[in-house]
Chain A
Amino acid sequence: MAMLHTVNKSPFEKNSLDSCIDHALEGSSILLFEDGVYGALKGTTISDKVSQAMGNVSVYVLGSDLRARGLSEERIIEGITVTDYPGFVDLAGSHDNVQSWL
């Protein structure tokens, strides 16, 4: 099984991303969207944890939510894939199940 985890919370406000990473098994994927996109930024208090997780899981971020918040792709941790809604749909379909870390 491979799960798609979605995180829509800023990691500086809620522990959703933290908890998601702690529960994500090897081979699963994490999609950051809405305020969750702040978890994709380089040089933050959580970016090391995200980078480490990327050894086992794939991390994606929703480009439209980055742009809405004025965040350019240069500020994103290397290796995170920027995607769009059709990409989100594909991820949901290509994984066995989806869990929303609200």
Chain B
Amino acid sequence: MKFGIQVNEGPYNHQSSDSAYQFTKAALEKGHEIFRVFFYHDGVYNGSRLGVPPQDDRNITELWEALGEKYNLDLVVCVAAAQRRGVLDESEANRNGKDANNIAPKFRISGLGQLIEAGVQSDRLIVFGD
């Protein structure tokens, strides 16, 4: 089965990114396909590489990166939500005249159409949020 995953909340403030990660990992380990993980609303903060959580806590962004690396996941950060909140890749930073970017490896920034496409192409779309 093919799943699409939507993550609506940032890491640490809310459990939804952890839940989405656990669901995604379990689905992949059962042999299912993840069409895409789409980060929306404050969920875009999951894609910032600049977070430095305490060493005795989990690093959610790195967990997503590692899962993305292992299974070649499409981890998409919504561009409109990301621009509002200051999550940028190099081209977005240049285009908007910003002096830095912060997108984490394995994540990419793209449009809301990617969420709709995930709904169309996946057998089930699961929303994790607040």
Contact = CB atoms under 8 A, between A and B. Distances in A.
Q: Does B associate with A?
A: yes
Interface of A: 6, 8, 33-35, 64-65, 84-86, 88-90, 92-93, 97-98, 100, 102
B16 A34 contact: yes
Given A89-B32, A100-B126, A8 B1 contact: no
Q: Chain A CB within 10 Å — which of B8, B16, B26, B129 has the most? A: B26
Interface of B: 1, 3, 8, 15-16, 19, 22-23, 25-27, 29-30, 32, 123-130
A6 B5 CA distance: 14
Contacts of B26: 84-86, 88-89
Contacts of B124: 92-93, 97-98
25 contacts: A6-B126, A8-B15, A8-B16, A34-B15, A34-B19, A64-B22, A65-B15, A84-B26, A85-B23, A85-B25, A86-B30, A88-B26, A89-B3, A89-B27, A90-B30, A92-B124, A92-B126, A93-B32, A93-B124, A98-B124, A98-B127, A100-B126, A100-B129, A102-B127, A102-B129
Given A100-B127, A100-B128, A102-B8, A89 B23 contact: yes
Nearest to B15: A34
Contacts of A33: 19
A33 B19 CA distance: 9
Contacts of A102: 8, 127, 129-130
B41 to A, nearest CB: 11
B58 to A, nearest CB: 13
B124 to A, nearest CB: 5
